[in-house]
């Protein structure tokens, strides 16, 4: 016998005719590795035996409690990841073709079955099912990638920055899982010359969180262009978050800064977010007094006092999400943390994003970073 079952399988045979069932069982006993066979005489009995250990189902389409394709449809609904092989009579080959079109992997005419054909059909049915599932996963991955691309375009807008006195760099990286999250960033320069920047993080991962991040980012930009800043802006974002989130436990942290038109000082609000890093006169430190208030979506009457930050003539300021400080560094793969981030920048002698991310290595969470620098003229 050149065609055989080379591995022990667990099958479910749904057949009400004892003679036909005996024939199938006898033919399968001739396999190199005879399968474990469960028998069901009706669709109702089959549904109770269709467990996760079943690798392939052989189903007769003439059952006492199901006619034509009813049995097949019930099996496919209950076990969508299991291979299904349909058994038909000599006069019902057209039904077998319809069964394949409905989702079965193959069909056999009972009168034509021998041990070799049966073993080969079972093996081929399982391989076709694996191929079908792989193709389905590929299509789902492609759809997810396209959706993520659309969401990411909303999370990463084109900056509205007119001045060339500021060097502007961003990074946006997914975590090790590759799932898009709700990290977002934006930069807007208003007609008065002030530069507004935000970096935020919606808790959780997935398209819902990413969509919420897009909504918050667009709302922030709209409010800034409309002249809204400070607590008024944050309370509006808080109301939007509460209206749009899928669950009451979802919150958002963010850091936003308004750099004055003279580019020598900034006003910040750190909303339950990691503190920004500042490099001034060769000194690296974090913004003192951060955070200035709790995350959005936690307390209904929260306040976020402004933090006044002198910048001077030459400076660099980095806003980031917690994916950066939760990265693992060193041989022991310890979490970087805020203090570790500051020490790493000191070792580098400045803020070099590419070098910094190389040292951090694999990210466990998404990462959004905005680095703004002003050089002495």
Split at pLDDT 50, 70, 90, the class of 88 is confident
Residue 132 has pLDDT above 50, yes or no: yes
Contact present, 180 and 206 (Cβ < 8 Å): yes
Q: Is 103 exposed, middle or buried (0-12, 13-18, 19+ CB in 10 A)?
A: middle
Q: Which residue has the higher pLDDT, 33 or 242?
A: 242
Query: Whole-number mean pLDDT of the chain?
Result: 87
Q: Which residue has the higher pLDDT, 267 or 209?
A: 267
Minimal CA–CA distance to 120: which of 271, 6, 38?
A: 6
Compute the average pLDDT of residues 157-166: 89
Q: Where are the domains of the chain?
A: 10-136, 156-374
- E strands of the chain, at which residues? 10-14, 36-40, 56-60, 62-63, 66-67, 83-88, 106-109, 166-173, 181-189, 195-205, 252-259, 265-271, 277-280, 283-286, 307-310, 315-320, 328-329, 334-335, 367-374
**pLDDT number for residue 207:** 80
The whole-number pLDDT of residue 185 equals: 93
What's the whole-number mean pLDDT along residues 157-176? Answer: 86
Q: What is the mean pLDDT of residues 171-186?
A: 75
pLDDT tops 80 at residue 364: no
Q: Check pLDDT > 90 for residue 219.
A: yes
Rounded mean pLDDT of 132-159?
A: 73
User: What's the gap between Cα 307 and its chain centre?
Assistant: 35
Closest of 187, 211, 213, 190 to residue 200, by C-alpha: 213
- One fold for both 10-136 and 156-374? no
- Region 200-228: mean pLDDT is 91
Q: Could you read off the pLDDT of 248-305 as tens digits, one per residue?
A: 999 999 999 999 999 999 999 999 999 999 999 889 999 988 788 999 999 988 899 9
End-to-end CA distance of the chain: 85
Beta carbons of 266 and 258 less than 8 angstroms apart: yes
Angle at the Cα of 370 from the Cα atoms of 368 and 371, rounded to 5 degrees: 140
Q: Select 10-136's CATH number: 3.30.1490.20, 3.40.50.2300, 3.40.640.10, 3.30.465.10.
A: 3.40.50.2300
pLDDT band at 1 (very low <50, low <70, confident <90, very high): very low
Q: Select 156-374's CATH number: 3.40.50.1260, 3.60.40.10, 2.120.10.30, 3.40.30.10.
A: 3.60.40.10
In the predicted model, is pLDDT for residue 147 greater than 70? no
Burial (CB < 10 A; 0-12, 13-18, 19+), residue 352, is: middle
In this structure, what token pair is assigned to residue 321? 């999400």
Gap between the Cα atoms of 99 and 122, Å rounded: 16
**pLDDT exceeds 80 at position 145:** no
Give the integer Cα–Cα distance in Å for 126 and 130.
6
* Least-confidence region, from 84-98, 140-154, 357-371: 140-154
**The two three-digit tokens of residue 144, written as one number:** 């997810």
What pLDDT, on the 0 to 100 scale, is given for residue 2? 40
**pLDDT over 70 (residue 155):** no
Question: Which spans in 169-256 are helix H?
Answer: 207-225, 230-244
**370 or 205: which carries more pLDDT confidence?**
370
Q: Hey, which residues does 238 pair with through a beta bridge?
A: none
- Burial of 124 (C-beta count, 10 Å sphere; 0-12/13-18/19+): middle
């Amino acid at each position: 016998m050149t065609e055989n079952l080379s591995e022990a399988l667990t099958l479910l045979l749904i057949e009400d005719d004892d003679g036909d069932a005996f024939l199938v069982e006898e033919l399968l006993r001739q396999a190199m590795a005879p399968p474990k066979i469960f028998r069901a005489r009706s669709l109702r009995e089959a549904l109770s035996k269709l467990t996760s250990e079943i690798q392939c189902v052989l189903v007769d389409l003439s059952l006492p409690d199901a006619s034509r394709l009813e049995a097949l449809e019930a099996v496919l609904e209950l076990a969508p990841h299991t291979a299904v092989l349909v058994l038909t009579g000599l006069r019902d080959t057209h039904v077998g073709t319809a069964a394949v079109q409905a989702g079965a992997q193959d069909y056999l005419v009972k009168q034509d079955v021998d041990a070799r054909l049966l073993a080969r059909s079972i093996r081929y049915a399982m391989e076709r099912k694996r191929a079908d599932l792989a193709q389905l996963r590929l299509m789902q991955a492609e759809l997810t990638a396209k959706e993520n691309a659309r969401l990411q375009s909303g999370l990463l807008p084109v900056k509205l920055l007119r001045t060339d006195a500021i060097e502007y760099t961003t990074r946006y990286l997914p975590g090790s899982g590759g799932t898009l999250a709700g990290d977002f960033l934006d930069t807007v320069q208003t007609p008065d010359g002030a530069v507004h920047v935000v970096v935020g993080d919606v808790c959780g991962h997935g398209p819902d969180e990413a969509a919420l991040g897009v909504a918050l980012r667009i709302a922030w930009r709209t409010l800034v262009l409309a002249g809204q800043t400070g607590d008024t802006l944050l309370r509006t974002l808080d109301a939007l978050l509460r209206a749009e989130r899928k669950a009451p436990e979802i919150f958002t942290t963010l850091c936003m800064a308004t750099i004055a038109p003279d580019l020598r000082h900034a006003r910040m609000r750190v909303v339950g977010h990691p503190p920004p890093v500042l490099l001034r006169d060769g000194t690296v430190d974090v913004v003192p007094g951060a955070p200035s208030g709790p995350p959005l979506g936690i307390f209904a009457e929260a306040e976020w006092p402004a933090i006044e930050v002198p910048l001077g003539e030459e400076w660099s300021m980095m806003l980031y999400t917690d994916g950066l400080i939760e990265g693992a560094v060193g041989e022991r793969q310890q979490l970087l943390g805020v203090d570790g981030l500051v020490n790493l920048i000191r070792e580098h002698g400045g803020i070099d994003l590419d070098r910094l991310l190389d040292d951090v290595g694999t990210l466990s969470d998404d990462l959004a970073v905005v680095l703004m620098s002003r050089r002495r003229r």
